[in-house]
Protein backbone atom coordinates (compact mmCIF):
# COMPACT_ATOMS: atom_id res chain seq x y z
CA UNK A 1 0.00 0.00 0.00
CA UNK A 2 1.35 3.43 -1.01
CA UNK A 3 0.03 6.92 -0.31
CA UNK A 4 0.65 8.89 -3.52
CA UNK A 5 0.67 12.64 -4.11
CA UNK A 6 0.28 14.34 -7.48
CA UNK A 7 3.51 16.28 -7.93
CA UNK A 8 1.75 19.02 -9.91
CA UNK A 9 -1.15 19.35 -7.43
CA UNK A 10 -0.31 18.49 -3.82
CA UNK A 11 -4.01 18.41 -2.92
CA UNK A 12 -4.57 15.48 -5.31
CA UNK A 13 -3.78 12.22 -3.51
CA UNK A 14 -4.57 8.53 -3.87
CA UNK A 15 -3.82 5.22 -2.20
CA UNK A 16 -2.53 2.44 -4.44
CA UNK A 17 -1.19 -1.07 -4.00
CA UNK A 18 2.13 -2.30 -5.33
CA UNK A 19 2.41 -5.92 -6.49
CA UNK A 20 4.50 -8.11 -4.20
CA UNK A 21 7.82 -9.11 -5.78
CA UNK A 22 10.46 -11.61 -4.63
CA UNK A 23 13.66 -10.19 -3.19
CA UNK A 24 16.87 -10.31 -5.17
CA UNK A 25 20.23 -11.19 -3.64
CA UNK A 26 21.43 -8.37 -1.39
CA UNK A 27 17.98 -6.90 -0.74
CA UNK A 28 15.85 -6.69 2.42
CA UNK A 29 12.14 -6.07 2.86
CA UNK A 30 11.16 -3.69 5.66
CA UNK A 31 7.64 -3.49 7.07
CA UNK A 32 7.07 0.16 7.99
CA UNK A 33 5.53 0.04 11.44
CA UNK A 34 4.73 3.71 11.98
CA UNK A 35 5.87 7.20 11.02
CA UNK A 36 5.23 10.81 12.00
CA UNK A 37 3.37 13.39 9.93
CA UNK A 38 4.30 17.06 10.42
CA UNK A 39 4.47 20.29 8.45
CA UNK A 40 8.02 19.25 7.58
CA UNK A 41 6.61 16.57 5.28
CA UNK A 42 4.73 19.26 3.37
CA UNK A 43 8.07 21.00 2.84
CA UNK A 44 9.44 17.74 1.42
CA UNK A 45 6.55 17.65 -1.05
CA UNK A 46 6.63 21.35 -1.96
CA UNK A 47 10.39 21.26 -2.54
CA UNK A 48 10.33 17.74 -3.95
CA UNK A 49 11.67 18.64 -7.39
CA UNK A 50 14.02 21.44 -6.32
CA UNK A 51 15.72 19.47 -3.52
CA UNK A 52 15.18 16.00 -5.08
CA UNK A 53 13.01 14.65 -2.26
CA UNK A 54 10.85 12.84 -4.82
CA UNK A 55 13.91 10.88 -5.97
CA UNK A 56 14.25 8.80 -2.81
CA UNK A 57 11.19 6.63 -3.42
CA UNK A 58 10.25 6.17 -7.09
CA UNK A 59 6.60 6.40 -8.11
CA UNK A 60 4.61 6.30 -11.36
CA UNK A 61 5.05 9.26 -13.72
CA UNK A 62 3.58 12.45 -12.29
CA UNK A 63 3.17 11.03 -8.79
CA UNK A 64 5.37 11.01 -5.71
CA UNK A 65 5.73 9.29 -2.35
CA UNK A 66 6.27 11.89 0.38
CA UNK A 67 9.21 10.99 2.65
CA UNK A 68 8.54 10.55 6.36
CA UNK A 69 10.58 9.51 9.41
CA UNK A 70 9.72 6.38 11.32
CA UNK A 71 10.53 2.83 12.34
CA UNK A 72 10.44 -0.40 10.37
CA UNK A 73 11.15 -4.08 10.98
CA UNK A 74 12.95 -6.40 8.60
CA UNK A 75 10.44 -9.10 7.60
CA UNK A 76 12.52 -10.77 4.87
CA UNK A 77 16.19 -10.50 4.04
CA UNK A 78 18.70 -11.67 1.48
CA UNK A 79 21.26 -9.15 2.75
CA UNK A 80 23.93 -10.58 5.03
CA UNK A 81 24.16 -8.59 8.26
CA UNK A 82 20.55 -7.35 8.10
CA UNK A 83 18.62 -10.09 9.91
CA UNK A 84 14.89 -10.61 10.05
CA UNK A 85 13.25 -8.93 13.08
CA UNK A 86 15.92 -6.24 13.35
CA UNK A 87 14.40 -2.73 13.58
CA UNK A 88 15.59 0.50 11.99
CA UNK A 89 14.88 4.19 12.38
CA UNK A 90 15.10 6.19 9.19
CA UNK A 91 13.63 7.82 6.11
CA UNK A 92 10.66 6.00 4.62
CA UNK A 93 7.85 6.57 2.13
CA UNK A 94 4.20 6.80 3.20
CA UNK A 95 3.86 3.11 2.41
CA UNK A 96 3.41 -0.24 4.08
CA UNK A 97 6.84 -1.57 3.10
CA UNK A 98 10.17 -0.61 1.56
CA UNK A 99 12.70 -2.79 -0.25
CA UNK A 100 16.29 -1.66 0.32
CA UNK A 101 19.75 -2.71 -0.89
CA UNK A 102 21.86 -2.50 2.28
CA UNK A 103 25.48 -1.40 1.99
CA UNK A 104 27.98 -0.15 4.60
CA UNK A 105 26.40 -2.65 6.99
CA UNK A 106 27.52 -2.55 10.60
CA UNK A 107 26.28 -2.71 14.17
CA UNK A 108 24.88 0.81 13.92
CA UNK A 109 22.85 0.14 10.79
CA UNK A 110 23.18 0.31 7.01
CA UNK A 111 22.96 2.61 4.02
CA UNK A 112 20.48 1.98 1.22
CA UNK A 113 22.71 1.54 -1.82
CA UNK A 114 19.90 1.38 -4.38
CA UNK A 115 20.89 2.94 -7.70
CA UNK A 116 18.16 5.61 -7.61
CA UNK A 117 19.47 6.89 -4.25
CA UNK A 118 23.00 7.50 -5.42
CA UNK A 119 24.01 11.15 -5.38
CA UNK A 120 21.30 12.08 -2.86
CA UNK A 121 22.05 13.48 0.61
CA UNK A 122 23.70 10.63 2.59
CA UNK A 123 21.95 11.55 5.85
CA UNK A 124 18.63 10.43 4.32
CA UNK A 125 20.00 7.10 3.10
CA UNK A 126 21.22 5.83 6.48
CA UNK A 127 19.09 3.45 8.58
CA UNK A 128 19.91 3.13 12.29
CA UNK A 129 19.58 -0.16 14.17
CA UNK A 130 17.52 0.51 17.30
CA UNK A 131 19.59 -2.05 19.25
CA UNK A 132 22.72 0.07 18.86
CA UNK A 133 21.44 3.62 18.39
CA UNK A 134 22.53 5.72 21.40
CA UNK A 135 19.73 8.21 20.75
CA UNK A 136 17.01 5.55 20.73
CA UNK A 137 14.73 5.11 23.72
CA UNK A 138 11.71 2.83 23.43
CA UNK A 139 9.85 4.98 25.96
CA UNK A 140 10.00 8.03 23.72
CA UNK A 141 9.64 6.42 20.29
CA UNK A 142 6.72 8.69 19.30
CA UNK A 143 8.62 11.83 20.22
CA UNK A 144 11.66 10.63 18.28
CA UNK A 145 9.58 10.27 15.12
CA UNK A 146 7.99 13.68 15.61
CA UNK A 147 11.04 15.66 16.62
CA UNK A 148 14.33 13.89 15.88
CA UNK A 149 14.66 14.88 12.19
CA UNK A 150 13.33 18.38 12.88
CA UNK A 151 15.58 18.84 15.88
CA UNK A 152 18.53 17.78 13.74
CA UNK A 153 17.77 20.68 11.40
CA UNK A 154 17.24 23.01 14.37
CA UNK A 155 20.55 21.97 15.90
CA UNK A 156 22.35 22.75 12.65
CA UNK A 157 20.63 26.14 12.21
CA UNK A 158 21.53 27.13 15.76
CA UNK A 159 25.10 25.95 15.23
CA UNK A 160 25.35 27.76 11.88
CA UNK A 161 24.09 31.08 13.21
CA UNK A 162 26.39 30.91 16.25
CA UNK A 163 29.35 30.00 14.03
CA UNK A 164 28.61 33.11 11.94
CA UNK A 165 28.34 35.32 15.01
CA UNK A 166 24.63 35.74 14.24
CA UNK A 167 25.73 37.98 11.37
CA UNK A 168 26.12 40.83 13.84
CA UNK A 169 22.47 40.66 14.87
CA UNK A 170 21.05 40.58 18.38
CA UNK A 171 17.60 39.29 17.46
CA UNK A 172 16.42 36.17 15.59
CA UNK A 173 12.95 36.41 14.02
CA UNK A 174 11.02 33.28 13.01
CA UNK A 175 8.11 32.99 10.60
CA UNK A 176 5.80 30.02 11.27
CA UNK A 177 6.94 30.09 14.89
CA UNK A 178 4.44 27.36 15.82
CA UNK A 179 6.11 24.79 13.55
CA UNK A 180 8.13 22.10 15.27
CA UNK A 181 11.34 22.98 13.44
CA UNK A 182 10.95 26.65 14.35
CA UNK A 183 10.36 26.14 18.03
CA UNK A 184 13.05 23.46 18.23
CA UNK A 185 15.50 26.07 16.91
CA UNK A 186 14.03 28.76 19.16
CA UNK A 187 14.55 26.47 22.17
CA UNK A 188 18.26 26.20 21.39
CA UNK A 189 18.63 29.93 20.71
CA UNK A 190 16.79 30.79 23.93
CA UNK A 191 19.83 29.42 25.77
CA UNK A 192 22.15 31.89 24.02
CA UNK A 193 22.29 35.22 25.90
CA UNK A 194 23.71 37.01 22.84
CA UNK A 195 20.34 37.05 21.08
CA UNK A 196 16.62 37.42 21.73
CA UNK A 197 14.08 35.28 19.89
CA UNK A 198 10.94 36.60 18.21
CA UNK A 199 8.12 34.44 16.86
CA UNK A 200 5.71 35.40 14.07
CA UNK A 201 2.64 33.23 13.70
CA UNK A 202 -1.00 33.21 12.64
CA UNK A 203 -3.48 34.76 15.07
CA UNK A 204 -5.02 31.41 16.18
CA UNK A 205 -1.54 30.12 17.15
CA UNK A 206 -0.36 33.14 19.18
CA UNK A 207 -1.41 31.69 22.54
CA UNK A 208 0.20 28.33 21.80
CA UNK A 209 3.50 29.92 20.78
CA UNK A 210 3.50 32.11 23.89
CA UNK A 211 2.80 29.06 26.06
CA UNK A 212 6.06 27.44 24.94
CA UNK A 213 7.97 29.97 27.02
CA UNK A 214 10.95 30.13 24.67
CA UNK A 215 10.20 33.21 22.55
CA UNK A 216 11.04 36.62 24.01
CA UNK A 217 8.31 38.18 21.86
CA UNK A 218 5.40 36.68 19.92
CA UNK A 219 3.47 38.60 17.25
CA UNK A 220 0.72 37.66 14.84
CA UNK A 221 1.41 38.26 11.17
CA UNK A 222 -1.10 41.10 11.36
CA UNK A 223 1.21 42.90 13.81
CA UNK A 224 4.44 42.23 11.92
CA UNK A 225 4.99 45.93 11.19
CA UNK A 226 5.22 46.69 14.93
CA UNK A 227 8.64 45.01 15.04
CA UNK A 228 11.39 47.32 16.24
CA UNK A 229 13.34 48.47 13.18
CA UNK A 230 16.39 49.71 15.08
CA UNK A 231 17.68 46.39 16.43
CA UNK A 232 19.73 44.29 13.96
CA UNK A 233 18.03 41.00 13.11
CA UNK A 234 18.27 37.65 11.34
CA UNK A 235 15.13 36.29 9.69
CA UNK A 236 14.61 32.51 9.77
CA UNK A 237 11.76 31.73 7.39
CA UNK A 238 9.95 28.47 8.14
CA UNK A 239 6.78 29.62 6.37
CA UNK A 240 7.94 30.07 2.78
CA UNK A 241 5.30 32.72 2.15
CA UNK A 242 6.50 35.27 -0.40
CA UNK A 243 4.16 37.89 1.06
CA UNK A 244 5.38 37.44 4.64
CA UNK A 245 9.01 37.40 3.54
CA UNK A 246 8.48 40.60 1.56
CA UNK A 247 6.81 42.32 4.51
CA UNK A 248 9.69 41.41 6.83
CA UNK A 249 12.29 42.67 4.35
CA UNK A 250 10.42 45.89 3.58
CA UNK A 251 9.82 46.67 7.23
CA UNK A 252 13.29 45.90 8.57
CA UNK A 253 15.32 46.99 5.52
CA UNK A 254 18.95 47.62 6.52
CA UNK A 255 18.45 46.33 10.06
CA UNK A 256 17.99 42.86 8.55
CA UNK A 257 21.48 41.33 8.44
CA UNK A 258 20.65 37.84 7.11
CA UNK A 259 17.61 36.09 5.66
CA UNK A 260 17.50 32.30 5.92
CA UNK A 261 14.89 30.18 4.09
CA UNK A 262 14.23 26.80 5.71
CA UNK A 263 10.64 25.57 5.47
CA UNK A 264 7.52 25.77 3.36
CA UNK A 265 4.65 25.43 5.82
CA UNK A 266 2.87 28.08 3.69
CA UNK A 267 3.80 26.10 0.59
CA UNK A 268 1.02 27.55 -1.60
CA UNK A 269 2.13 31.13 -0.93
CA UNK A 270 5.69 30.67 -2.15
CA UNK A 271 5.79 32.57 -5.44
CA UNK A 272 8.14 35.04 -7.14
CA UNK A 273 7.91 38.75 -6.45
CA UNK A 274 7.88 41.37 -9.16
CA UNK A 275 10.45 43.57 -7.43
CA UNK A 276 13.72 43.01 -5.62
CA UNK A 277 13.47 42.96 -1.83
CA UNK A 278 15.38 45.41 0.37
CA UNK A 279 18.02 43.92 2.64
CA UNK A 280 20.03 40.73 2.10
CA UNK A 281 18.95 38.18 -0.50
CA UNK A 282 17.27 35.14 1.11
CA UNK A 283 19.58 32.12 1.31
CA UNK A 284 18.28 28.54 1.37
CA UNK A 285 19.49 26.53 4.37
CA UNK A 286 20.03 22.86 3.50
CA UNK A 287 20.72 20.92 6.70
CA UNK A 288 22.60 17.95 5.14
CA UNK A 289 25.28 20.27 3.74
CA UNK A 290 25.82 21.92 7.14
CA UNK A 291 25.91 18.50 8.79
CA UNK A 292 28.67 17.22 6.48
CA UNK A 293 30.67 20.43 7.04
CA UNK A 294 30.44 20.37 10.84
CA UNK A 295 31.11 16.64 11.21
CA UNK A 296 34.28 17.17 9.18
CA UNK A 297 35.33 20.17 11.28
CA UNK A 298 34.42 18.81 14.73
CA UNK A 299 34.86 15.09 14.18
CA UNK A 300 31.98 12.59 14.47
CA UNK A 301 32.40 11.99 18.22
CA UNK A 302 32.33 15.67 19.21
CA UNK A 303 29.48 16.43 16.83
CA UNK A 304 27.40 13.58 18.29
CA UNK A 305 28.26 14.63 21.85
CA UNK A 306 27.01 18.17 21.25
CA UNK A 307 23.91 16.93 19.50
CA UNK A 308 23.14 14.35 22.19
CA UNK A 309 23.46 16.87 25.03
CA UNK A 310 21.09 19.30 23.28
CA UNK A 311 18.62 16.57 22.28
CA UNK A 312 18.25 15.35 25.87
CA UNK A 313 17.50 18.85 27.17
CA UNK A 314 15.02 19.51 24.39
CA UNK A 315 13.13 16.24 24.80
CA UNK A 316 12.49 16.96 28.46
CA UNK A 317 10.59 20.12 27.45
CA UNK A 318 9.05 19.04 24.15
CA UNK A 319 7.07 16.15 25.64
CA UNK A 320 4.75 18.77 27.14
CA UNK A 321 4.25 20.64 23.87
CA UNK A 322 2.49 18.01 21.73
CA UNK A 323 -0.62 15.89 21.91
CA UNK A 324 0.36 12.54 20.42
CA UNK A 325 -2.34 10.70 18.46
CA UNK A 326 -2.09 7.37 16.62
CA UNK A 327 -3.84 6.55 13.33
CA UNK A 328 -3.97 3.31 11.36
CA UNK A 329 -6.05 3.91 8.23
CA UNK A 330 -5.31 5.42 4.84
CA UNK A 331 -8.35 7.68 5.26
CA UNK A 332 -6.92 9.12 8.49
CA UNK A 333 -3.61 9.69 6.74
CA UNK A 334 -5.36 11.52 3.92
CA UNK A 335 -7.35 13.69 6.35
CA UNK A 336 -4.32 14.66 8.42
CA UNK A 337 -2.18 15.26 5.35
CA UNK A 338 -4.85 17.60 3.99
CA UNK A 339 -5.04 19.39 7.35
CA UNK A 340 -1.34 20.24 7.01
CA UNK A 341 -1.73 21.13 3.33
CA UNK A 342 -4.51 23.59 4.19
CA UNK A 343 -2.73 24.94 7.28
CA UNK A 344 -5.48 23.63 9.55
CA UNK A 345 -3.59 21.12 11.71
CA UNK A 346 -3.46 22.19 15.38
CA UNK A 347 -0.10 23.60 16.45
CA UNK A 348 0.05 20.97 19.21
CA UNK A 349 -0.64 18.07 16.82
CA UNK A 350 1.61 15.03 17.15
CA UNK A 351 0.35 12.63 14.46
CA UNK A 352 1.74 9.08 14.27
CA UNK A 353 0.54 6.94 11.35
CA UNK A 354 0.74 3.39 10.06
CA UNK A 355 -0.75 1.77 6.97
* Residue 84, C-beta contacts closer than 8 angstroms, at least 6 positions apart: 74, 75, 76, 77
- Angle CA(227)–CA(254)–CA(47) in degrees, nearest 5? 80
Statement to judge: residues 76 and 178 lie in one domain: no
**Is pLDDT above 90 for 56?**
yes
Q: Are the C-beta atoms of residues 235 and 212 closer than 8 Å to each other?
A: no
User: Where does the pLDDT of residue 267 fall: very low under 50, low under 70, confident under 90, or very high at 90 and above?
Assistant: very low
Domain assignment present for 295:
no
Q: What is the DSSP letter of 51?
A: S
Q: What is the DSSP letter of 277?
A: P
Q: What is the mean pLDDT of residues 222-235?
A: 96
Statement to judge: residues 8 and 132 lie in one domain: yes
Domain assignment present for 313:
no
Query: How many other CB atoms sit within 10 Å of the CB of residue 287?
Result: 20
Do strands 2-6 and 256-261 pair parallel, antiparallel, or not at all (unpaired)?
unpaired
* pLDDT for the residue numbered 323: 94
User: Where does the pLDDT of residue 158 fall: very low under 50, low under 70, confident under 90, or very high at 90 and above?
Assistant: very high
262 φ/ψ angles, rounded to the nearest 5 degrees: -125, -55
CATH number, domain containing residue 40 = 3.90.180
pLDDT in tens, 292-339: 888 888 888 888 888 888 998 999 899 999 999 999 999 999 999 999
CA distances from 352 to 9, 60, 71, 319 (A): 24, 26, 11, 14
How deeply is 267 buried, as exposed, middle or buried, from its count of CB atoms within 10 A (0-12, 13-18, 19+)? buried
Domain assignment present for 302:
no
Residues β-bridged to residue 256 = 233
Domain assignment present for 145:
no
Q: Are the C-beta atoms of residues 153 and 262 closer than 8 Å to each other?
A: yes
**Is pLDDT above 50 for 181?**
yes
Q: What is the DSSP letter of 224?
A: G
Statement to judge: residues 187 and 270 lie in one domain: yes
Statement to judge: residues 159 and 273 lie in one domain: yes
Residues β-bridged to residue 350 = 324
Q: Are the C-beta atoms of residues 147 and 137 closer than 8 Å to each other?
A: no
pLDDT in tens, 65-99: 999 999 999 999 999 999 999 999 999 999 999 99
* Residue 252, C-beta contacts closer than 8 angstroms, at least 6 positions apart: 227, 229, 233, 235, 279
Domain assignment present for 299:
no
Query: How many other CB atoms sit within 10 Å of the CB of residue 118?
Result: 10
CA atoms lying within 13 Å on the CB side of residue 175 = 28
**Is pLDDT above 90 for 247?**
yes
Percent of the chain with pLDDT over 70: 96
* pLDDT for the residue numbered 183: 95
Domain assignment present for 298:
no
Domain assignment present for 21:
yes
How deeply is 207 buried, as exposed, middle or buried, from its count of CB atoms within 10 A (0-12, 13-18, 19+)? exposed
Residues β-bridged to residue 93 = 67
Domain assignment present for 171:
yes
**Rounded to 5, what percent of the chain is helix, strand, coil?**
35, 30, 35
- Angle CA(50)–CA(51)–CA(57) in degrees, nearest 5? 110
How many distinct structural domains can be found in the chain?
2
| Domain stop point among 245, 263, 288 | 288
Statement to judge: residues 168 and 118 lie in one domain: no
| Domain stop point among 288, 303, 336 | 288
Angle between helix 180-189 and helix 39-46 axes, rounded to 10 deg: 110
* pLDDT for the residue numbered 275: 57
CA 25, CA 41: separation in Å to the nearest integer? 32
Beta strand extents in 38-86 (DSSP E only) = 63-64, 67-77
In this structure, of 51-60, 152-161, 257-266, the range with the lowest mean pLDDT score is 257-266
Q: Are the C-beta atoms of residues 48 and 64 closer than 8 Å to each other?
A: yes
* pLDDT for the residue numbered 264: 53
pLDDT in tens, 3-43: 999 999 999 999 998 888 999 999 999 999 999 999 889 88
CATH number, domain containing residue 188 = 3.40.50.720
Averaged confidence pLDDT in the chain: 92
Q: Are the C-beta atoms of residues 202 and 221 closer than 8 Å to each other?
A: yes
**Higher pLDDT, residue 83 or 269:** 83
Question: Considering the entire predicted model, what is its pTM?
Answer: 0.86
Domain encompassing residue 106: 2-136+322-353
Q: Are the C-beta atoms of residues 156 and 189 closer than 8 Å to each other?
A: no
* pLDDT for the residue numbered 285: 86
User: Where does the pLDDT of residue 268 fall: very low under 50, low under 70, confident under 90, or very high at 90 and above?
Assistant: very low
Find the length of the chain: 355
CA 216, CA 342: separation in Å to the nearest integer? 28
Amino acid sequence: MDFMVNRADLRNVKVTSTPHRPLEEGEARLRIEHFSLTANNITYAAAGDFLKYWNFFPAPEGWGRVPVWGFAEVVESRAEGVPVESRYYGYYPMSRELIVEPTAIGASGFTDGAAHRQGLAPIYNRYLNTDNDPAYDAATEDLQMLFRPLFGTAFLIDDFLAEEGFFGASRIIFASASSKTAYSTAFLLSNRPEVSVVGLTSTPNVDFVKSLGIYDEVLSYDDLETLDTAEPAVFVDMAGSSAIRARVHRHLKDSLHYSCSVGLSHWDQNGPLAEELPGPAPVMFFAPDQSVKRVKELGPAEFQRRYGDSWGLFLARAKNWVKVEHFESAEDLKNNYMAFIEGQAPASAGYIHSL
